[in-house]
Amino acid sequence: MIDHKIEKLLLKVQKPGRYVGGELNSVIKNKKDIEVRFAFCFPDIYEVGMSHLGMKILYSQLNEVPYVWCERVFAPWADMEEQMRQNHIPLYALESGDSLADFDIIGFTLQYEMSYTNLLNMLDMAGVPLKSSDRRSLSQLVVAGGPCACNPEPLADFVDLFFIGEGEEVDCEVVELYRDFKRKNGTKEDFLAAAAQISGVYVPSLYDVTYKEDGTIDTFQPRGNAPAVIHKRVMMDLDKSYFPDRFVVPYIEIVHDRAVSEVLRGCIRGCRFCQAGFIYRPFREKSIDAIDRQCRDLCENTGYDEISLSSLSTSDYSKINDLLDRLMAWTEDRKTGISLPSLRVDGFSNELMKKIKAIRRSGLTFAPEAGTQRLRDVINKNVTEEELLKTVNTAFGGGWTTIKLYFMIGLPTETLQDVEGIADLAQKVVDAYYNHPNKPRGKSVKVSISASSFVPKPFTPFQWEPQDTIETIHAKQRHLLSSIHSKKIEPSWHEADTSFMEAVFARGDRRLGAVLLEAHRRGMKMDGWQDFFSLQKWLEVFASCGIDPAFYANRKRSFDEHLPWDHIDYGVKKSFLMEECKRAYANKTTPNCREACSACGASCLKGGICVESR
């Protein structure tokens, strides 16, 4: 559906395949039959967005509704944006080629705080007014969901309505309400007031905020009938929740180019830094029958020869060996690979290793997260050095020679000894290889250590914690480098500058809207990409707005501070998060949900492991 004008531009840009649409399984509908046009926008480039499972689910689900046409929109890379702006071509949806401005609902998925400038830029590229208050009619309704929506406040000026929690049901309810209002020529104002009554919907314009002199929030008040607390939506029975039997198959290589089956949602663990581990509670599993059927359908309808069993921690699937047996019964003959992207150190048994060996030979990745047992106890990463060494020994005995270990720098209570502990642990893994009686002959070992910077996130026990300053992180990175004495260890890290800005927006309030607007005015975008991110430019923007970013990133917050996301409820009680924070400082661990229920509050959602464990 791409017109001639766009075709000509494609000769001038890298990877034209990002911009043409027409892929296998993309959905084309007749506009005459459609009452609600929904643009599903991913605020990053095609290759990233097309790899995202949530987008695949909601795209297919919305398109199953006869009166809805859901199309995909991605952020163009700078070369294409330049061409589009020069030639006055608005940002368009890949299915119809129509401008984003022509849509009833413009929906964004928020996966990463550093994509917020892209959200503004994408609206701007189609001439859609950025501020919610400047979009008066019911059309061009901007909605957003995804994990970052758990603190929607930095985007409160721009987004009309947020989905809190899992989108499968609430998306369709809002679309239906929208259709009713469109049919009767209802106003945007009335629609938003009605939508706010749907559970899991947050309409930021219906709330007033006041601030204290010290800059913290004083009051946060709903207006009219808007609920004081917005409770998240959750799909309790994963077997019954919608899952597509086909994905759009891209022409160009994307980040994760394979069939994906979501085997479980939530996590039984309670790693204290991990937002996903709390906001997706409770832990729920899909049945083997459902996973098997979905994998078969997907492979049949896409031609993919690799299936990824996706989740926060796939080795926590209670019947993982049975599941792999069931899948391997047909995938082996078809030469279809299975990948398990998220394995836990303590979930890597001999039996699982043998199965993985049969289906995959690439490197293994584990996440001890901290270098010393003390710090692993602080963050509640219930993994011991013995377990890690046992696991890598199992792997080396099975022929693996490449191990990747994920760590974090800047965790609460961290000392330089903990940083050295990262290098020590990696060295022990190298030594384990050379001491292994059955190590692969004539091969050397490679241990990659990736050290990201800790970013305190809402809805975690560390939501009150300060982030280390950039200077401290740099000093710790240098200390880590000087503690590594083996060429077999390859360190890498995320830029501390980006993590700082991520921390600002993760725990920001709605005053950051002015900052985002100014950043956009200065042409800032693609901040998740090192080619574009500039701390200097961000600091200039903050200075021009009279806002100190350290107030959001580096300040320790007190337990009685009104947090910008306190009106959002993900099931887990704030008092539980406080207790967990105190336990962290006391080096006390908390059992996982399978060992014992710690009464976090998520049982109020009445399902998953909370009910099963009783």
Shortest distance (Å) from residue 604 CB to ligand SF4: 8
Interface pick for ligand SF4 out of 9, 449, 517, 609 (rule CB under 6 A): 609
Neighbour-count burial of 352, counting CB atoms closer than 10 A to its CB (0-12 exposed, 13-18 middle, 19+ buried): middle
Shortest distance (Å) from residue 278 CB to ligand SF4: 9
Helix (H, G, I), strand (E, B) or coil at 329: helix
**544: which DSSP letter?**
H
Interface pick for ligand SF4 out of 45, 254, 276, 610 (rule CB under 6 A): 610
Is the Cβ of residue 269 or residue 520 nearer to ligand SF4 in the bound state?
269
User: Do β-strands 217-222 and 207-211 pair in parallel, antiparallel, or remain unpaired?
Assistant: antiparallel
Structure tokens at 273: 């830094």
Is the Cβ of residue 416 or residue 599 nearer to ligand SF4 in the bound state?
599
Task: State the Cα–Cα distance between residues 372 and 421, nearest whole angstrom.
Answer: 5
Shortest distance (Å) from residue 564 CB to ligand SF4: 24
Is the Cβ of residue 138 or residue 609 nearer to ligand SF4 in the bound state?
609
For 381, what's the count of Cα atoms within 13 Å in the CB-facing half-sphere?
26
Shortest distance (Å) from residue 234 CB to ligand SF4: 11
Is the Cβ of residue 204 or residue 282 nearer to ligand SF4 in the bound state?
282
Closest CA to 511 of 460, 554, 463, 546: 546
Shortest distance (Å) from residue 411 CB to ligand SF4: 22
- For residue 282, cis peptide bond before it (omega within 30 degrees of 0): yes
- Region label for 519, one of left (φ > 0), alpha (ψ between -120 and 50) or beta (otherwise): alpha
Q: Which residues pair with 109 in a beta bridge?
A: 145
Site for ligand SF4 in 549-608 (CB under 6 A): 593, 597-600, 602-603
Shortest distance (Å) from residue 461 CB to ligand SF4: 13
Is the Cβ of residue 503 or residue 600 nearer to ligand SF4 in the bound state?
600
Shortest distance (Å) from residue 57 CB to ligand SF4: 23
Q: Tokens 């890498």 sit at which residue?
A: 492
Is the Cβ of residue 162 or residue 283 nearer to ligand SF4 in the bound state?
283
Residues contacting residue 120 through CB under 8 Å, at least 6 positions apart: 130, 158, 516, 517, 520
Is the Cβ of residue 564 or residue 601 nearer to ligand SF4 in the bound state?
601
Structure tokens at 397: 């005995």
For ligand SF4, what does the binding mask look like between residues 11 and 40, x meaning CB under 6 A? ------------------------------
Shortest distance (Å) from residue 594 CB to ligand SF4: 8
Task: State the Cα–Cα distance between residues 302 and 94, nearest whole angstrom.
Answer: 19
* Rg, the chain, Cα only: 24
What are the backbone dihedrals phi and psi of residue 295, each rounded to the nearest 5 degrees, phi first? -65, -40
Is the Cβ of residue 307 or residue 602 nearer to ligand SF4 in the bound state?
602
Residues contacting residue 87 through CB under 8 Å, at least 6 positions apart: 5, 9
Is residue 271 within 8 Å of residue 319, measured between CB atoms? Answer: no
Where does 154-264 have alpha helices with state H? Answer: 167-183, 188-195
Task: State the Cα–Cα distance between residues 589 and 310, nearest whole angstrom.
Answer: 27
Shortest distance (Å) from residue 231 CB to ligand SF4: 16
Where does 435-528 have alpha helices with state H? Answer: 470-483, 496-506, 512-521
- Position 146, amino acid: G
Is the Cβ of residue 134 or residue 595 nearer to ligand SF4 in the bound state?
595
Strands (E) located in 311-353: 337-339
By the rule CB under 6 A, 313 interacts with ligand SF4: no
Is the Cβ of residue 543 or residue 599 nearer to ligand SF4 in the bound state?
599
Is the Cβ of residue 255 or residue 611 nearer to ligand SF4 in the bound state?
611
Three-state secondary structure readout of 199-216: CCEECHHHEEEEECCCCC
Helix (H, G, I), strand (E, B) or coil at 403: strand
Is the Cβ of residue 81 or residue 580 nearer to ligand SF4 in the bound state?
580
Task: State the Cα–Cα distance between residues 190 and 203, nearest whole angstrom.
Answer: 12
Is the Cβ of residue 239 or residue 612 nearer to ligand SF4 in the bound state?
612
Site for ligand SF4 in 424-463 (CB under 6 A): none
Three-state secondary structure readout of 82-149: HHHHHCCCCCECCCCCCEHHHCCEEEEECCCHHHHHHHHHHHHHCCCCCCHHHCCCCCCEEEEECHHH
Structure tokens at 450: 């990736």
Shortest distance (Å) from residue 246 CB to ligand SF4: 33
Is the Cβ of residue 72 or residue 265 nearer to ligand SF4 in the bound state?
265
Neighbour-count burial of 596, counting CB atoms closer than 10 A to its CB (0-12 exposed, 13-18 middle, 19+ buried): exposed
Shortest distance (Å) from residue 592 CB to ligand SF4: 8
Shortest distance (Å) from residue 111 CB to ligand SF4: 23
Shortest distance (Å) from residue 614 CB to ligand SF4: 9
Shortest distance (Å) from residue 285 CB to ligand SF4: 13
Is the Cβ of residue 264 or residue 602 nearer to ligand SF4 in the bound state?
602
Q: Tokens 């959602």 sit at which residue?
A: 605
Structure tokens at 534: 């500039």
How many residues sit in the footprint of ligand SF4 (CB under 6 A)? 12
Interface pick for ligand SF4 out of 6, 281, 407, 573 (rule CB under 6 A): 281
Helix (H, G, I), strand (E, B) or coil at 278: helix
Structure tokens at 282: 């409770």
For ligand SF4, what does the binding mask look like between residues 202 and 221, x meaning CB under 6 A? --------------------
Task: State the Cα–Cα distance between residues 294 and 211, nearest whole angstrom.
Answer: 50
By the rule CB under 6 A, 613 interacts with ligand SF4: yes
By the rule CB under 6 A, 282 interacts with ligand SF4: yes
Shortest distance (Å) from residue 576 CB to ligand SF4: 8
Contact residues toward ligand SF4 (CB under 6 A) are: 281-282, 593, 597-600, 602-603, 609-610, 613
